[in-house]
């Protein structure tokens, strides 16, 4: 016998939580299934990665480079392990998306505003900005570069303990489950089933899903299923059950990212303050966005592009090392496939020459800024000899034209686009009768800004569509 509910939402990340909450607030009964469990805090980043990151943090794309792409598998999804930074969808992209039938920029913007309010977004105050951020601003000042700004983040009570990506110890970050699910827990007609996984799906006027957990299997019939398993998982279900206007899994954009290290005379104490506290859009190349980044002590050594005795020498002075990062609004694209099922997706990604050139340009720029702030040495994220520079002039003169994608020590935190709106799902995010998608996979192209607010907005808009609220 199957259970009946108005809506089933799969996945509790930015998309799933916002969609489920809005549907419930609109009076519908909702079952939200989440594969991960609720998080508990610990001060050990490696343990948090092992427990709450998908595949223990070992997901990576291969192609002409190695590109780790971490995501979260925990109640709240990747928002539980993100930095909390909020930026709205660029207006020029919203206008371009109006080419997709059913999408209107002015109908989308109120949802961005709603997510903004719900996440209590505010600029990072100076007191909690990390020292690396302050050094970055100091460097910009001495170079006379304007545009550096405090980033805005979703938080309520942040004290700058610097562990946002490893489960905030104070539960101050406004992650999806805190902002959207917590206020509804216990409400009749609203169920959150953790450690419960979607295994099968039958579209139709009254779609049915099969959910599996340790306690058994549940068959649920509903009015609509909202898939929000994330950019790297949702395509599995569309491909497996032949849903969507085109095959899902292509057009993967990721915002390739990396960071530059700099050695100062003074203490930087990078484990204090909000790690992602400041930012800047490159003055000349709008596809490059600089944002703060920092690794907690237990991960600091692994993130430096050194080994052996050389690594030891750097770790002996770790308290004087500042870091700052950047990401690229990529033109390169990748794909996701599932040769052995949904648990181990196979990711490919090739960094194209234009993006490679942006990476080298951005790392040189950051190096210059750090030298202007007084750095003694700058380390570029290159896995090859010659990544350490002692003067701005030396860095300026360095020939980086032979840097290849494989030399870069990169990561990517924003996979998007594998079920793109207008390509795989329609303007209302419909993949098939009774089946909709509301996660990063629907974002039609590389955004150039941190994506959570955009994803929340897509999900809120879908929920209103399903509730029949006029746009």
Partner 1 sequence: MSAVGAIVFPLARSYAAHAGIEIADDRLRADLEGRLAGAGNLSRGLFVGAALFVRAAAPVLFLGKPLGFSALSSDDREELLRRLQCARSPLLRGLYLGIKPLLTGLCYTPEFLKRAAEARV
Ligand X SMILES: Cc1cc2nc3c(=O)[nH]c(=O)nc-3n(C[C@H](O)[C@H](O)[C@H](O)COP(=O)(O)OP(=O)(O)OC[C@H]3O[C@@H](n4cnc5c(N)ncnc54)[C@H](O)[C@@H]3O)c2cc1C
Residue 130 interacting with ligand X (CB under 6 A)? no
Rounded Cα gap, residues 330 and 285, in angstroms: 12
Residue 154 C-beta: closest distance to ligand X, Å? 8
Q: Quick one: CA dihedral 48, 50, 52, 54, positive or negative?
A: positive
How many CA within 13 A on the CB side of residue 134? 16
Piece in contact with partner 1 (CB under 8 A), picked from 54-62, 84-92, 395-403, 436-444: 54-62
Piece in contact with partner 1 (CB under 8 A), picked from 19-27, 65-73, 283-291, 448-456: 65-73
Contacts with ligand X in 67-96 (CB under 6 A)? 70-73, 77-79, 81-85
Piece in contact with ligand X (CB under 6 A), picked from 90-98, 124-132, 370-378, 449-457: 449-457
Instruction: Please check whether residue 419 is in contact with residue 235, taking contact to mean a CB–CB distance below 8 angstroms.
Output: yes
* Residue 170: contacted member of ligand X, partner 1, ligand SF4, none (CB under 5 to 8 Å, by partner type): ligand SF4
CA 340 to chain CA mean position, Å: 25
| Binds partner 1 by CB under 8 A, chosen from 56, 266, 390, 433 | 56
Rounded Cα gap, residues 35 and 77, in angstroms: 9
Residue 297 interacting with partner 1 (CB under 8 A)? yes
Closer by beta carbon to partner 1, 73 or else 330: 73
Piece in contact with ligand X (CB under 6 A), picked from 31-39, 55-63, 351-359, 395-403: 31-39
Residue 275 interacting with ligand X (CB under 6 A)? no
Piece in contact with ligand X (CB under 6 A), picked from 103-111, 279-287, 373-381, 444-452: 444-452
| Binds partner 1 by CB under 8 A, chosen from 25, 26, 38, 66 | 66
| Binds ligand X by CB under 6 A, chosen from 20, 455, 457, 462 | 455
Residue 452 interacting with ligand X (CB under 6 A)? yes
Residue 313 C-beta: closest distance to partner 1, Å? 9
* Residue 306: contacted member of ligand SF4, ligand X, partner 1, none (CB under 5 to 8 Å, by partner type): partner 1
Q: What string of H, E and C letters represents the secondary structure of the chain?
A: CCEECCEEEECCCHHHHHHHHHHHHCCCCEEEECCCECCCCCCCHHHHHHHHEHHHHCCEEEECCEEECCCECECCHHHHHCCCECCCCCHHHHHHHCCCCCCCHHHHHHHHHHHHHHCCEEECCHHHECHHHHHHHHHHHHHCCCCCEECEEEECCCCCCCCHHHCCCCCCECCHHHHHHHHHCCCCCEEEECCCEEEEEECCCCCEEEEEECCEEEEEECCEEEECCCCCCHHHHHHHCCCCCCCCCCCEECCEEEEEEEECCCCCCCCCCECCCEEEECCCCCCEEEECCCCCHHHHHHHCCCCHHHHHHHHHCHHHEEEEEEEECCCCCEEEECCCCCCCCEEEECCCHHHHHHHHHHHHHHHHHHHHCCCCEEECCECCCCCEECCHHHHHHCCCCCCCHHHECCEECCCECCCCECCCECCCCEEECCEEECCHHHCCCCCCCCCHHHHHHHHHHHHHHHHCCCC
* Residue 78: contacted member of partner 1, ligand SF4, ligand X, none (CB under 5 to 8 Å, by partner type): ligand X
* Residue 274: contacted member of partner 1, ligand X, ligand SF4, none (CB under 5 to 8 Å, by partner type): ligand SF4
Residue 142 C-beta: closest distance to partner 1, Å? 26
Contacts with ligand X in 387-426 (CB under 6 A)? 413-414
Residue 185 interacting with partner 1 (CB under 8 A)? no
Using CB under 6 A, count the residues that bind ligand X. 40
Contacts with partner 1 in 407-426 (CB under 8 A)? 407
Residue 394 C-beta: closest distance to ligand X, Å? 32
* Residue 13: contacted member of ligand X, ligand SF4, partner 1, none (CB under 5 to 8 Å, by partner type): ligand X
Which residues in this chain contact ligand X in the complex, by CB under 6 A? 10-16, 33-36, 70-73, 77-79, 81-85, 165, 197-198, 228-231, 233, 276, 413-414, 439-440, 450-452, 455
Under the rule (CB under 8 A), what is the footprint of partner 1?
Answer: 44, 46-47, 50-51, 55-56, 58, 60, 62-66, 68, 267, 297-302, 305-312, 315-319, 383-385, 404, 406-407
């Amino acid at each position: 016998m199957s259970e009946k509910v108005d809506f089933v939402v799969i996945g509790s990340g930015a998309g799933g939580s916002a969609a489920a909450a809005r549907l419930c607030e609109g009076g519908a009964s909702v079952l939200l299934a989440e594969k991960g469990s609720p998080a508990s805090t610990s001060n050990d980043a490696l343990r948090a990665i092992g427990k709450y990151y998908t595949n223990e943090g070992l997901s990576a794309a291969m192609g002409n480079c190695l590109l780790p792409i971490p995501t979260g598998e925990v109640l709240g999804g990747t928002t539980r392990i993100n930095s909390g930074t909020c930026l709205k969808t660029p207006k020029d992209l919203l206008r371009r998306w109006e080419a997709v039938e059913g999408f209107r920029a002015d109908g989308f913007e109120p949802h961005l505003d709603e997510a903004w309010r719900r996440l209590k977004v505010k600029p990072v105050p100076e007191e909690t900005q990390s020292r690396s951020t302050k050094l970055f601003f100091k460097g910009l000042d001495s170079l006379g570069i304007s545009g550096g700004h405090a980033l805005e983040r979703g938080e309520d009570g942040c004290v700058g303990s610097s562990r946002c990506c490893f489960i905030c110890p104070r539960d101050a970050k406004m992650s999806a489950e805190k902002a959207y699910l917590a206020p509804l827990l216990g409400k009749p007609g609203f169920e959150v089933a953790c450690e419960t996984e979607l295994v099968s799906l039958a579209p139709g006027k009254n779609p049915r899903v099969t959910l599996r957990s340790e306690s058994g299997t549940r068959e649920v019939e509903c009015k609509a299923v909202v898939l929000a398993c994330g950019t790297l998982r949702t395509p599995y279900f569309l491909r497996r059950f032949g849903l969507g206007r085109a095959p899902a899994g292509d057009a993967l954009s990721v915002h390739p990212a990396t960071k530059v290290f700099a050695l100062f005379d003074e203490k930087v104490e990078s484990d204090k303050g909000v790690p992602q506290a400041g930012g800047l859009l490159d003055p000349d190349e709008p596809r490059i966005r600089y944002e703060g980044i920092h690794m907690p002590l237990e991960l600091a050594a692994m993130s430096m592009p050194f080994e052996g005795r050389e690594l030891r020498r750097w770790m002996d002075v770790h308290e004087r090392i500042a870091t700052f990062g950047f990401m690229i609004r990529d033109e390169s694209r990748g794909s996701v496939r599932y040769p052995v099922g949904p648990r181990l997706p196979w990711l490919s990604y090739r960094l194209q020459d234009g993006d490679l050139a942006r990476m080298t340009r951005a790392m040189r720029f950051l190096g210059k800024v750090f030298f202007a702030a007084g750095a003694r040495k700058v380390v570029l994220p290159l896995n090859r000899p010659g990544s350490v520079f002692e003067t701005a002039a030396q860095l300026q003169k360095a020939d980086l034209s032979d840097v290849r994608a494989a030399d870069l020590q990169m990561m990517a935190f924003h996979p998007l686009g594998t079920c793109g709106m207008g390509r795989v799902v329609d303007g209302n995010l419909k993949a098939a009768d009774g089946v909709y998608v509301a996660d990063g996979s629907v974002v039609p192209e590389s955004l150039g800004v941190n994506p959570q607010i955009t994803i929340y907005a897509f999900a809120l808009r879908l929920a209103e569509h399903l509730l029949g609220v006029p746009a």
